Chains A and B, each alone.
Chain A
Amino acid sequence: MAGAISRLNRPTTARRPTHDPVWVRWTLTLTALAFLGLFLFVPLAAVFTEALRRGVGPYFEAFRNPDAIAAITLTLTVAVIAVPLNLVFGVAASWAIAKFNFLGKSVLITLIDLPFAVSPVISGLIYVLLFGAQGLVGPWLQDHDISIVFAVPGIVLATIFVTFPFVARELIPLMQAQGNDEEFAALTLGASGWQTFRRVTLPNIKWGLFYGVILCNARAMGEFGAVSVVSGHIRGQTNTMPLHVEILYNEYNFVAAFAVASLLSLLALVTLALKSIVEARSHSIQTVQP
């Protein structure tokens, strides 16, 4: 209402204080577009053109290769293990941080950010140093015939480490902003801890949680550095999709490399689409319900 009135009162030709001259606006917009085009759209288009350079046949041929199938299966397996685990860890950690005060809380917050601060290669190396043949517990593992490094468990561990912050980072600010009052209210109304979580906390954080899971999943499937260190690059056994792309590329098998890469790119596009839907959805919820 107020906006409508002020718009009526204002002469239409008047310059608003926030409006820059036309040439400034155009320059800024074009610079941004050019930058986006050069660094995002062109590479993305290149992935698909390279993949389809020899037509649809060779493109789909790349996915029939047993090693490619193994890589795709492994990537999905890792994501299926890592994402749910980080979902549980993330919710538990943000619940503890946002709703309670305890000794060492700031240390925990810092630790959650650690995977973001450390280079993924280092993250992978940690596991090699811990579980490798020369590592701390390596000999013990060897005696008991357990393989972690250069095997699937190592890849899963490295992926969990790298994707650990996504869910928690998304939820902590959200839960802190919402405060404890609704949980306290549920408690005084006789709800148990689990009922409070399921009926009050979870519905309030579900979109933030979903958003965190999407990002976590995208990273879990796309992680290269940490996984590369622990995987050992055994074809058909410990190669994930990003590693498979690298091997194919190094062998000058460009069509196959770009074909698998296009699958990862598609995943990224789906993630982006989901992300914007979730964002719009959670935004509308938050504006309707302050």
Chain B
Amino acid sequence: MSIEVRNITKRFGSFTALNNVSLEVRSGELVALLGPSGSGKTTLLRIIAGLEFADAGSGQVCFNGEDVTHRSAAARQVGFAFQHYALFRHMTVFENIAFGLRVRPRAERPAESEIRRRVAELLKLVQLEQFEQRFPSQLSGGQRQRVALARALAVEPKVLLLDEPFGALDAKVRKELRRWLRELHEKVPITTLFVTHDQDEALEVASRIVVMNEGRIEQIGAPDEVYDRPANPFVYNFLGNVNLFHGRIHEGLVHLGNTAFAVAGHDAAASVPAIAYVRPHEIKVLSRPNGVGSLPALIRYVNSAGPLVRLELERADDRGPFSVELTREEGRGLALQPGAQVYVELKNLRVFADDYSI
């Protein structure tokens, strides 16, 4: 089932949590809502679930084109997993999962044998068959989250909404569960929307990412799209590491110190301050100038442990620091010593006029 959000605004007192947000999620997609805390991503998720309501007259939430804006959470038939799981603490794992089936009106309620069969099936899906008689307090965080997902899936929701599903877990379990969630989505391909502040999680799990900031959507795109072609400085900063080079744009050229680089899309700009964004792995280190456009820099620090060689450098002109990642092979031919002078070529330079501050 597809989800459509049109022009939703939500204010809490004087704080604007969502500012005229529109979003479309296609049927069967696995989409991440990514943003820093306070960006409005959880509020958006809760409005889609019906746990929160948008400001009066501000917009619509549609499921499969049908307006559900004023429908209650119970009537929307969404599966919702909470950050802190919200398992019913006085019920066993089995009863937690069976809850959604047991509260149905008598006419629609499945027979006890059918409930047992369904719960067993879900326990198998989340790999917790032997835990059905445990209480939530007797499970680990990862197990609890899997119970919460099974409980949400038990009512056969049209949409699965996950609020920071792995937020309260340690790093190793998070990684396992990410893979598990992707596999689960392949097995049970319902439209899934999950909230996260972890860019790696979004990049690894989602088929599309919605980057949010200060109640607005900054960019929507496939993981490689938002990573490689960020729409604005915020997305650049939020997704992955990035170096900032301060300079000026003038008639299609960006001047960084004494070096000019050609950039598309800024032909008209007449000498305005600008910031160039380059990812650490998009910088090439040379031992001598390439004659076309390379910046002189000093090596401050070298870390060659692990698969990549990480360098901390400093621009020779304005002493601005930046970092570079090289493969071991790329680093081999160069004399990488702290204090050595090198030249850097910026391969994938993106320039934004300097009206944005972090």
Residues of A within 8 A of B (CB): 181-182, 184-192, 195, 199-200, 203-204, 285, 288-290
Contacts and interface: CB of A to CB of B under 8 A. Distances in A.
A271 to B, nearest CB: 26
Contacts of B87: 182, 185
Contacts of A200: 88
Given A195-B103, A204-B89, A181 B84 contact: yes
B155 interface: yes
Interface of B: 49-51, 72-74, 76-80, 82, 84, 86-90, 99-100, 103-104, 135-138, 148, 151-152, 154-155
Q: Top 7 closest A-B pairs, CB basis? A: A181-B86, A189-B100, A289-B137, A191-B103, A188-B80, A185-B86, A203-B90
A290 B100 CA distance: 23
Contacts of B151: 185, 189
Contacts of B84: 181
B89 A192 contact: no
A186 B103 contact: yes
A187 B72 contact: yes
Given A181-B82, A187-B73, A192 B103 contact: yes
Contacts of A204: 89-90
Nearest to B99: A189
Nearest to B104: A190
Contacts of B49: 188
A184 to B, nearest CB: 5
Nearest to A195: B103
Nearest to B138: A288
A184 B51 CA distance: 7
Given A195-B103, A204-B89, A188 B135 contact: no
A188 B290 CA distance: 62
25 contacts: A182-B88, A184-B51, A184-B73, A185-B88, A185-B151, A187-B51, A187-B72, A188-B50, A188-B51, A188-B76, A188-B80, A189-B74, A189-B151, A189-B154, A190-B74, A190-B100, A191-B74, A191-B103, A192-B74, A200-B88, A203-B88, A203-B90, A285-B90, A289-B90, A289-B137
Contacts of B74: 187-192
Contacts of A188: 49-51, 73-74, 76, 78-80, 152
Contacts of B82: 181, 184-185
A249 B138 CA distance: 58
B136 A289 contact: yes
Contacts of A190: 74, 77, 100, 103-104, 155
Nearest to A187: B73
A188 B90 CA distance: 18
A289 to B, nearest CB: 4
Nearest to B103: A191
Tell which of B74, B84, B104, B154 has the most Cβ of chain A within 10 Å.
B74
A263 to B, nearest CB: 37
A4 B336 CA distance: 52
